[in-house]
């Protein structure tokens, strides 16, 4: 038998979703180690060091326009003034002559003594002479040293999942390599005799494996390094061999299908035979009650159900937070949003309902995407995520605030 944890939180239909999630997160003893990675390769990686601004941005007072730097106190509107100097972008700052104006280009260092820049379209230039129709207010078209970012300011915190914005900010501060979590190594197995890999012709009774490619894409987007294992047939010996090999050298083994107790469900028996230890066997959720998680050798193990929507709900509900915990990332966020649908149901299971965000006036609300059968793939195309109903919910009325779990992560901003 599987070595199960005490049955607290357990109901006949499986343990509570929240209890299952906690047990799965508790499987992580310590986060994966950090490693130095070149900035350009850090998209999707989790930051493990605080990032503090090293330099002021901009690092010097500079012109925000192609134009003329002036000293407003000595400029006379309508009078002809000589252009006495020029600073191009990238040149060191110079000095503004006592009674002149100074040609500057966008981003060029403001000459000492200047306190405004007049855009070139607002002057008349004739050879080296210039006439300004008006004297601008002090500070016009000047970007002050440090007005964007001040050296010493805390910019990013450990736990941030890095995207192009973070890369830009860190590049502006001269960082070339940073400490991020090592990517979790995940072995991904699709199990089932009926499965046929992409590119192969379907035999009678077969379907193409869609869970493997779907989960591979999701895991990669969530920062994992994925090793796809060839499809595993429903056969006890094959299953054992595949799981044993898969667990070698990875942090997580993730399977889909074959996790229930049907005649052709062999994943749990194979795990038992290999000395696996399951902390979760069944979860009171819909879709996807047969969902197992625990340890297999030195790797963690999650067995998702085979129906695509159930596999997806399990991946979003458990695997995404698990990966975040492994990488020491801020947990993925959810939204609170008004439902636009009505629903009555028997309480008892946490339910994942496919939903789309639609705009109503100034706000977005969640609508259902139609028939949800957990084996269906097509409704995913028009959905933006799942509405997550707690086990205790018996009904939803239009206008009720519900929890929305977006397919794209959001709100995972540290502090
Ligand atoms: P199971 O969990 O093995 O009972 O499978 C439940 C349903 O999911 C069956 O209809 C399977 O054919 C289907 N299924 C299992 N694995 C996959 C997969 N990798 N891709 C698409 N459908 C699958
Ligand atoms: Mg099966």
Question: Are the C-beta atoms of 7 and 279 separated by less than 8 Å?
Answer: no
How confident is the model at residue 7, as a pLDDT?
A: 44
% of the chain residues with pLDDT over 90: 93
Q: Exposed (0-12), middle (13-18) or buried (19+): which is 54, by Cβ within 10 Å? A: middle
**Which residue has 């054992």 as its token pair?**
240
Question: Are the C-beta atoms of 351 and 388 separated by less than 8 Å?
Answer: yes
Q: Is ligand 1 within 6 A of the CB of residue 206?
A: no
Cα dihedral angle (185, 191, 197, 198), rounded to 10 degrees?
-60
How confident is the model at residue 18, as a pLDDT?
A: 97
Q: How confident is the model at residue 373 (pLDDT cuts 50, 70, 90)?
A: confident
What residue's CA is closest to ligand 1, atom 5? 306
Q: Is ligand 1 within 6 A of the CB of residue 209?
A: yes
∠ at Cα 22 (18, 23), nearest 5°? 115
pLDDT in tens, 24-50: 999 999 999 999 999 999 999 999 999
Question: Are the C-beta atoms of 340 and 355 separated by less than 8 Å?
Answer: no
Q: Is the dihedral of CA 289, 228, 294, 238 positive or negative?
A: positive
How far apart CA 305 and CA 287 sit, in angstroms, is 9
The size of the chain, in residues, is 415
How far apart CA 103 and CA 122 sit, in angstroms, is 13
Residue 162 DSSP SS3: coil
CB neighbour list of residue 270: distance below 8 Å, 6 or more residues apart: 236, 239, 240, 243
Specify the pTM: 0.91
Residue 8, pLDDT above cutoff 90: no
Q: Give the chain's mean pLDDT.
A: 94
**Which residue has 């973070």 as its token pair?**
166
Q: Is ligand 1 within 6 A of the CB of residue 308?
A: yes
pLDDT in tens, 98-112: 989 999 999 999 999
Ligand lying nearest the CA atom of residue 261: 1
Ligand lying nearest the CA atom of residue 256: 1
141 CA to middle of ligand 2, Å?
Answer: 67
CB neighbour list of residue 342: distance below 8 Å, 6 or more residues apart: 395, 396, 397, 398
Residue 9, pLDDT above cutoff 90: no
How far apart CA 234 and CA 257 sit, in angstroms, is 10
How far apart CA 321 and CA 340 sit, in angstroms, is 27
């Amino acid at each position: 038998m599987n070595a199960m944890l005490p049955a607290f939180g357990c109901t006949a239909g499986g343990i509570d979703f929240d209890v299952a999630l906690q047990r799965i997160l508790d499987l992580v003893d310590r986060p994966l180690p950090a490693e130095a990675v070149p900035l350009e390769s850090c998209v999707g990686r989790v930051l493990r060091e605080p990032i503090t601004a090293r330099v002021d941005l901009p690092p010097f007072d500079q012109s925000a326009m192609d134009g003329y730097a002036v000293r407003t106190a000595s400029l006379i509107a309508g009078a002809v003034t000589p252009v006495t100097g020029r600073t191009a972008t990238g040149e060191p700052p110079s000095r503004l002559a006592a009674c002149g104006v100074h040609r500057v280009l966008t981003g060029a260092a403001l000459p000492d003594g200047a306190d405004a820049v007049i855009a070139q379209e607002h002057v008349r230039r004739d050879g080296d002479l210039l006439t300004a129709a008006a004297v601008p207010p002090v500070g016009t078209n000047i970007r002050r040293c440090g007005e964007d970012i001040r050296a010493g300011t805390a910019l990013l915190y450990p736990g941030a999942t890095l995207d192009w914005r973070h890369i830009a900010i860190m590049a502006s501060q001269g960082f070339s390599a940073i400490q991020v979590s090592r990517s979790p190594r995940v072995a991904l197995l699709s199990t089932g005799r009926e499965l046929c890999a992409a590119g192969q012709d379907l035999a009678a009774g077969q379907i193409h494996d869609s869970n493997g490619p779907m989960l591979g894409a999701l895991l990669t987007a969530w920062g994992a390094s994925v090793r796809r294992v060839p499809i595993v047939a429903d056969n006890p010996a094959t299953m054992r061999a595949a799981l044993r090999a898969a667990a070698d050298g990875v942090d997580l083994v993730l399977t889909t299908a074959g996790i229930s107790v049907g005649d052709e469900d062999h994943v749990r028996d194979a795990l038992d035979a290999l000395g696996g230890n399951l902390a979760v066997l069944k979860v009171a959720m819909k879709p996807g009650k047969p969902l197992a998680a625990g340890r297999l050798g030195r790797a963690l193990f999650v067995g998702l159900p085979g129906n695509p929507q159930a596999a997806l709900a399990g991946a979003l509900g458990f695997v995404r937070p698990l990966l975040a915990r492994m990488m020491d990332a801020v947990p993925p966020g959810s939204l609170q949003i008004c439902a636009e649908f009505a629903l009555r149901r028997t309480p008892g299971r946490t339910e994942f309902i496919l939903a789309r965000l639609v705009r109503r006036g100034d706000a977005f609300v969640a609508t259902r995407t139609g028939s949800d059968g957990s084996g269906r793939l097509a409704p995913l195309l028009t959905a933006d995520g799942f509405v997550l109903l707690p086990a205790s919910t018996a009904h939803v009325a239009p206008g009720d605030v519900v929890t929305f779990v977006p397919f794209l992560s959001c709100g995972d901003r540290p502090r």
